[in-house]
């Protein structure tokens, strides 16, 4: 098959493949599972196809890459080349995130975003402990 992909598309695909090797969402899933939480993965019928859905806690978790979702952290920098491709692409991602999170909240879901940079070894434990508190406190809000 001829390679009709543009250079940008190819590098995008390559980064998708790389990101599958060390899926940060699996790290979060494994931690939650070890703490006794049960969840569904990649629920397509919910807006934005959340990575983790904890129905019991009416909570969805997105594990977001800092680059793809334009996190306000040092990991996000606009690429210096192919800006005509990247700026609209990343901007669309951010817009979609806002829309999806709002739709989920309207449906009564507690929406939590875990950023890839928060899963660095040095800060991971702290973030994951806080995540559990965020999940559990959401249940109290619902039962009020």
Q: Is 23 in the site for Zn ion (CB under 5 A)?
A: no
Q: Where are the beta strands (DSSP E) in the chain?
A: 40-41, 52-54, 59-64, 110-115
**Minimal distance in Å, beta carbon 69 to Zn ion?**
9
Q: Is 35 in the site for Zn ion (CB under 5 A)?
A: no
Contact 135, 112 (CB under 8 A): yes
Contact 31, 52 (CB under 8 A): no
Contact 94, 86 (CB under 8 A): no
Q: Is 66 in the site for Zn ion (CB under 5 A)?
A: yes
Q: Is 117 in the site for Zn ion (CB under 5 A)?
A: yes
**Binding test (CB under 5 A) with Zn ion, winner from 14, 73, 123, 132:** 73
List residues near Zn ion by CB under 5 A. Answer: 66, 71, 73, 75, 115, 117
């Amino acid at each position: 098959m001829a390679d009709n992909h543009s250079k940008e598309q190819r590098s995008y695909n390559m980064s998708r493949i790389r990101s599958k090797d060390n899926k940060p969402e699996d790290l979060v899933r494994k931690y939650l599972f070890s703490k006794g939480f049960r969840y569904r993965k990649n629920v397509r019928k919910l807006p934005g196809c959340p990575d983790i859905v904890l129905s019991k806690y009416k909570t969805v978790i997105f594990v977001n890459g800092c680059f793809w979702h334009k996190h306000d952290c040092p990991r996000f920098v606009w690429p210096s080349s192919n800006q005509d491709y990247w700026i609209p692409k990343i901007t669309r991602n951010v817009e979609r995130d806002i829309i999806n999170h709002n739709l989920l909240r309207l449906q009564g879901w507690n929406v939590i975003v875990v950023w890839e940079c928060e899963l660095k070894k040095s800060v991971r434990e702290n973030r994951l402990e806080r995540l559990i508190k965020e999940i559990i406190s959401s249940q109290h809000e619902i039962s009020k």
